[in-house]
Each structure stands twice: as structure tokens, then as C-alpha cells.
Amino acid sequence: MRAFAFAISISVLGGCGRGTHVSEDSGAPILPATTVSSSPATAPAASVLTPMGPLSFAPIAKAADPAVVLIQTTVDQENGPRRRGGHGEPPRGLGTGTGFVVDADGLIVTNNHVIDAADHVLVRFATGRVLDGAIIGRDGLTDLAVLRVKAETLPTIRMGDSDAVEVGDWVVAIGNPFGLDHTVSAGIVSAKGRSRDDVPILMEGYVDFIQTDASINPGNSGGPLLNLRGEVIGVNTAIRGGNAQGIGFAIPVNMLRELLPLLLKDGKVVRSAIGVLVKDIRVSPLDDRTKNGWVDGQGKPLMQGVAVDAVESKGPGGKAGIQAGDVIVAFEGEPIRREIDLRWRASLRGVGKVARVSLMRKGKPIDVSVTMAELPVPATPRPPMH
């Protein structure tokens, strides 16, 4: 059985050591790369010039470290038993995680599970400065949260483009594993698009993880995963099996980009829905796709899209004419390759807004207009409607 855990530690800590003091410039230089090639006598038929790894990750770490913070959370004694369903008088708990500054006026990103149920949040900087953190936005379905501290001209980290990340790219993680503040590790992107089937957490949530072998441990939660330009491309979130296998997972920063304005405006995310239950057709053999009518205009099996399993008859999709057996191939003109594509785009379209949904129905293309409804938050786990 595969074991997964969020990368957060709960412990009682003393004082934190200080990180190295560096310039507040958040940029990081692109490190030089050297190309190598084989001699003609030994080169394969199709040789590829491969950049070598960076000589050092130090420039990236020095530029980003001032904007990485240690987050400490406490739960009051009188609230402990009531929140945890336990008994007796527990000690005042102290949890640790990581965050990073994205705005010089004190905006900090972390994981929702780092600050979940916290009564007090403290933010400790590499200089040793400690400030109270106020929770201004959180979203349990992506495990993202935003804090604000009263400060100005803080060092920040730029956000990159997680869609541009490729498997095999070098990455650097900075965090506070086991309370050891400002720890740097490096590795590569091992995979992209890890789903709830791969990482069975946030089963009602939106999972599209970047997998990395850069060392991530309890306490790294909420810290940045950086590319070689020193840009954040992921938010470190989960580990597998206590990280014994060297496998960690990060939320793509492009998900954060889309949610951040909503969290700043409303403190939460109000999601929209079509009212359909779908599944990724790619898991079905080609013969089954043909039998099910999941085909294009030439009768060939579709290679991507999501098949509609069920439709809420009085929901937006049902009113628009979507039927069980249809394959959704585009949403607002954007291709739908897999389930998370539809779930994510539909959820952020906006309640009351009209969306153009492109279908294939037994080889016939159909476009329908759907007026999006609000996505209900289920009281108990169930297959999500999108």
C-alpha cells in the first residue's frame, strides 16, 4: 500500500537559527551551460547536445533565501480537545511549515494544511525578524493559503511558468524540514500531471502535482520549488512514504496564479460547475472507445477528452443538452485532454457566466452553451461533479 503525507511537522521548537544574509535582489542569474558531444566514431545516429548541470546552486539559493520564511502555528490549550475530538488537557501545540513572499508589502504564500486550525501564526524571516501573520485567504481544495504580515519592502520571489517546465529540468527546493530553517535541496522534475490516482490526498480537491526527487520532508510544506532562473514553479506540498523513496510533490505555480486574485478579493474560492460526472477516456483501450462511440468524424477512437458518465437533469449541463456518453473535448475553446483540465477550467469560469462546451457525440461535433451554477461543497466524500 502506498503511503502519502503532507510535508508538515508538528514539534516543540526552541529558537531558530538565522539564514545567510544576502542582497534583497530577488532575481537569480541564468547559470552558464556547457554543451558536449560524442566523437563521430562513437556518436549515435541521432545525437543530442545536452547541457551539463549547473556548477553550483548557490546563486539561486542566495537570491531566493531572504524571501523564504519559517511559519510557526499554535493551537490554544482550551481549543485542542474540541478541535481534535480528544480528551484531557493537551500541551500548547507548535506546528512548523514554510512560506515565501510574493509581494513586497507582506503577502506570503503557503499550504492550507500548514495553517489549518491554527489560533496564532508567526512568520520568521532569515534575518531572525518575527512578525504576526494574518490569514487572508485559504482554499482547502488546492491546499493553498495566503498570509499577510505588516511590513514593507520585503524581498520577494518571482513566479515562473509551470506549464513551461519539462521532465528532467533541474529544480531547487528551499524550506524548513523538521524545523531546520532555510534548508536547500536540489534535484530534477521527475514527472508532471500527477493526479489523485497517483497521490491519493485531497480526494475532493484539484490535484495536478509536479513530481520531484529534490529532497522534501515534513516542514517543507508551503515552500518554493524553483527553476534555474530562481523563479517559483511549484509550491512543495506532499511526500510519499516518508520520502524514503525520494519522491515529493508540488502544486504548479500556475494554479496559484489563477487563485491568488480570488483569495485576495474574497478570502476563499467560490467555484462554478457544469453538473456532470466525467472520466478520462485515455484509461480505456482503443477498442472500448470505439464500442462506446468515443470516436471522431472518421470513426477513429478519440485520443483525448473526458467522457460524460452522468448528468444532473436539472443542472446546467442537463439544461444545455449534454448527455451521458458525450465526450467533452474543449471548454471555452481550450482543449480538454484529461479530467483535471475540465474540473479546473469549469470551476473557475464563474457562477452565472456562460461557457461554450465542445462535445463529440458518436463522431458528431456539437457545441452547447452552459450557464454555470455554483459548485456545492459536499458534506461527505463522493465523486465530484464538474
Q: Which domains does the chain have, with CATH numbers?
A: 1-35+55-269 (2.40.10.120), 272-374 (2.30.42.10)
User: Are 193 and 208 in contact, with CB atoms under 8 Å apart?
Assistant: yes
Predicted confidence (pLDDT) per residue in 209-253, tens digit: 999 988 887 788 899 999 999 999 999 988 775 544 678 899 999
Predicted confidence (pLDDT) per residue in 12-51, tens digit: 223 333 333 333 333 433 333 333 333 334 333 344 444 5
Name the least confident of 68-77, 78-87, 89-98, 225-234: 78-87
Which residues are registered as beta bridge partners of 183? 175
Note the pTM of the prediction, 2 decimals. 0.78
The answer to whether 113 is a known catalytic residue is yes
Could you tell me where the DSSP H helices lie in the chain? 58-64, 80-84, 112-115, 253-266, 286-291, 316-320, 339-349
Angle at which helices 339-349 and 253-266 cross, to 10°: 20
The answer to whether 11 is a known catalytic residue is no
Residue of 9, 221, 272, 358 marked active site: 221
Residue of 65, 143, 208, 213 marked active site: 143
Residue of 113, 181, 347, 358 marked active site: 113
The answer to whether 287 is a known catalytic residue is no
Which residues are registered as beta bridge partners of 240? 4
